[in-house]
Each structure stands twice: as structure tokens, then as C-alpha cells.
Amino acid sequence: MSNRKPGILLSGANGQLGWELNHTLSPQYEVHALERSKLDLTNSKQIRQRVSEIKPDIIINAAAYTAVDKAEQEPELAFAVNAEAPAILAEEAARIDASLIHYSTDYVFDGSGTQPWREEDRPAPLNVYGKSKLAGEQAIKASAVPHLIFRTSWVYGAHGHNFVKTILRMASEKEEMSIIDDQIGAPTSSAFLANTTAQVLSQLTDNPKKGIAENSDTYHLCCSGETSWHGFASEILRLAEQNDVHLALKTIHRIPTSAYPTPAQRPQNSRLDCSRLNKVFGLQPVTWQTALAQALPHIIASQIEASTKPT
Ligand SMILES: NC(=O)c1ccc[n+]([C@@H]2O[C@H](COP(=O)([O-])OP(=O)(O)OC[C@H]3O[C@@H](n4cnc5c(N)ncnc54)[C@H](OP(=O)(O)O)[C@@H]3O)[C@@H](O)[C@H]2O)c1
């Protein structure tokens, strides 16, 4: 075995997950962390050029078009980033004998029923974002590339924009808010996602390419347990108070999805069954409450830093 660190091309390095992956994987791997300005996934020529220059062992695609409501107005852009670019990444990875790690979403399902979705369940996305992410998965699976596709849900972290930061900001300004209580899923921190990706890779350290090829599949990967957006918000606020954050908020009302219409329809049942991940890699996700308690001090610190930065 050589002492060379395996090379990773990481796209979307400035996103919630990309940022966390860069920091988590850099000690063990030679990470080429490319944010949008260095690798624009709508530019197929640039994708091919970067892959040829870097010649990574593994491509990790953490970039995505994630504006769920806006995607209804911009389907071409959503499909270019979420479907066409992963197809090119897969093709390029196969060409240089590399493997691909890609992330997808609970929004590939229609949200019917109350059972957690398994990987083999029939996807039926309700919105353009979900359709574009499903097309990306299908392109990777149809390619010859060894791959791991991790479908996750309700992502938040210290870096980037997310529900946790919105709730903290609103709760510091308002005395009342209303949050949806009939969509159920598992909030998942970007730190947990990055750590689990690192744990999976570390199991394959001797030969990550061979390891990925042998376990090439789609895996559900989210924190354990379940809650609604209302339950998630309530826990954020409980922990914020524990962390001495001053809140103006006095009441948090439960509302149904029908009381908060959005351009994109969202699944009501976003539960993901992660037993395949456990069976193949022996990994047991932490509860969403544990991950949130670990992440919240960092999120609060990042918000304080952002609010005190000179503009
Ligand atoms: N966020 C969620 O709740 C959620 C839920 C389920 C699954 N996922 C999946 O998890 C993965 C990570 O999501 P995330 O939460 O980290 O998303 P994110 O914070 O929105 O990050 C996405 C990154 O992709 C970049 N990007 C967008 N268009 C691009 C383009 N044309 N070329 C290159 N980069 C581009 C963005 O660049 P800029 O920084 O320049 O905007 C951003 O840095 C994605 O596959 C997503 O579909 C997310």
C-alpha cells in the first residue's frame, strides 16, 4: 500500500455539506475543494477539464440546486445542476477509473403513508427539485461508475442557510410564530453527514475505489428518530434557551401544510429507513436531538459572527 493520500475532487465546497466534508476529510485525504467559482456544474466543459486536471481517486458531489420553491420556476437550471452534471461527473469518473459519492434527498418520494421509505421503494417526486434529484440518481446508476448515493433529509449546519438559523432569527424578533406540524422527517446535521461519509470511507481505506465498487448502491442516511417542523423548531428553541440565547418568542403555533401554501409541494412522510447503511457498514445514526444539541452552539456562534461582521 502506498503512503499517498487518496485524492478527492469535492464540488459544492461552499455549501452546508461541502464545507463540512472539506474540513472533515482534509486530514486524511488530498481534498481539492471546489466552490462554484472554480467548478460550475452548469459548465460541462469545465467539469471535464477539472476532472482531467485533478485526476482524483474519488469525486464527491456536494453541489446541488437546492432552492426547492424556486426550482418550480427554473426547471432547466435545476435539471442542469442536479441531473445533467451528475451524469457528466459519473461519465468522467468512470473514464479516469475513479469512483463517485453523491447525495440525494427524501424528496424523491411522494410522502404517502407513515412507514419509513426504503431504498427500493418506488420514487415519485412531487416537485421539480425532487424530479431533478431523481434524474441525477438514475444517471449515476445507469453509468459504469462505482458509486455511493446517500439520500438524506432536512439538512442544517453552521455553514450556510437553513431552517435552524431562520428559526433562531425569527425567534429573536417575533413573539409568535406558526410552524407546520404535519410533515414528518429527520433533521440531519451536515456534521453528522460528513462524519458518516468519513467513517464509510475509512472502512474502505486500503482501496477506496475497490471498496466503493463492491458496495456500489443507494443508501438512506439521516439522523434517527422523527419529528415535524414544529417539533424541530420547538427543540431548537429549547436548546437555544439552554445556550443562553435571548428569545423574544412567547408562542409557537402548530399549523397544517394547507395553511402555508408554497410553490413546490412537499412530501408529508419524509421518514427514511437507514437499515441498509447499518447492515452494510455497521453504522448506527445518532438521534436528531443529539446531532442538534452538538451543532447548535456552532450555529449560534456563526450567527453571532455574521451579525457582527462589518458590511
Ligand atoms: N438542504 C437540505 O435540506 C437537503 C435535504 C435533503 C438532501 N439534500 C441534499 O444534500 C446535498 C447537500 O445539500 P446542502 O444542504 O449542502 O445544500 P447547499 O447548502 O444549498 O449547498 C449546495 C452547494 O451547491 C452549490 N451550487 C449550486 N449550483 C451550483 C452550480 N451550478 N455549480 C457548482 N455549485 C453549485 C452552491 O453554491 P453557492 O454556495 O455558490 O450557492 C452550494 O455551495 C445536496 O445533494 C442536496 O440535494 C439537502
pLDDT above 70 for 146: yes
Assigned C-alpha cell, 70: 424556486
Residue whose CA is at the smallest distance from ligand 1 atom 24: 63
Cα separation, 124 vs 107, whole angstroms: 9
Q: What is the mean pLDDT of residues 230-257?
A: 93
307 versus 105: the higher-pLDDT residue is 105
Q: Which residues are catalytic?
A: 129
What's the pLDDT score for residue 205? 67
Find out whether 154 and 270 touch, Cβ atoms under 8 Å: yes
| Model confidence at 13: pLDDT above 90 | yes
Residue 170: alpha-carbon gap to chain centroid: 23
Q: Give me the pLDDT at residue 214, please.
A: 87
How many whole angstroms separate alpha carbon 86 and alpha carbon 81? 7
160 lines ligand 1 (CB under 6 A): yes
Please measure the distance between the N-terminal and C-terminal CA atoms of the chain and give it in whole angstroms. 50
User: pLDDT per residue over 114-141, tens digit each?
Assistant: 999 999 999 999 999 999 999 999 999 9
| CB-CB neighbours of 283 under 10 Å | 16
Residue 10: pLDDT band (50, 70, 90) is very high
Report residue 129 as a C-alpha cell: 427539485
Cβ(215)–Cβ(291) below 8 Å? no
Cβ of 153 closer than 6 Å to ligand 1, yes or no, is: yes
161-171: average pLDDT:
94
**R_g of the chain computed on alpha carbons:** 19
Q: What are phi and psi of 210, to 5 degrees?
A: -65, -40
* Range 188-206 average pLDDT: 92
pLDDT reading at 291 higher than 60: yes
92 C-alpha to center of ligand 1: Å? 21
Q: What is the rounded CA–CA span in Å between residue 133 and residue 126?
A: 12
**Which of 205, 224, 204, 206 lies closest to 216 in space, CA to CA?**
204
Q: Is the CB of 12 under 6 A from ligand 1?
A: yes
152 or 304: which leads in pLDDT: 152
Q: Stretch 231-247: mean pLDDT, rounded?
A: 92
Share of residues in the chain with pLDDT > 70 (%): 98
Contacts by 86-89 with C-beta closer than 8 Å and gap 24+? 86/61, 86/136, 86/137, 86/139, 86/140, 87/136, 87/139, 87/140, 87/143, 88/44, 88/47, 88/48, 89/11, 89/47, 89/51, 89/59, 89/61
Residue 157 has pLDDT above 80, yes or no: yes
The three grid cell numbers given for residue 107, joined into one nine-digit string = 424528496
- Hey, CA dihedral for 125, 127, 131, 137, is it positive or negative? negative
In sequence order, the 6+-apart residues with CB closer than 8 A to the CB of 2 are none
What is the 3 CA–ligand 1 centroid distance (Å)? 32
* Whole-number Å distance between alpha carbons of 208 and 241: 43
Q: Is pLDDT at 169 greater than 70 in this prediction?
A: yes
Lowest mean pLDDT among 95-99, 130-134, 245-249: 245-249
Nearest by Cα to 181 from 115, 268, 69, 119: 268
Half-sphere exposure of 301 (CA within 13 A, CB side): 7
Q: If you measure from the C-alpha of residue 13 to the centroid of ligand 1, how many angstroms do you get, rounded to a whole number?
A: 9
Q: Spell 112-133 as b/e; 16+ CB within 10 A means b.
A: eeeebbebebebebbbbbbbbb
Q: pLDDT band at residue 1, thresholds of 50, 70 and 90?
A: very low
- State the distance from the centre of ligand 1 to the C-alpha of 35, rounded, in angstroms: 11
For residue 109, is pLDDT > 50? yes
- Confirm or reject: Cβ of 156 under 6 Å from ligand 1: no
- pTM: predicted TM-score of the whole model, two decimal places: 0.95
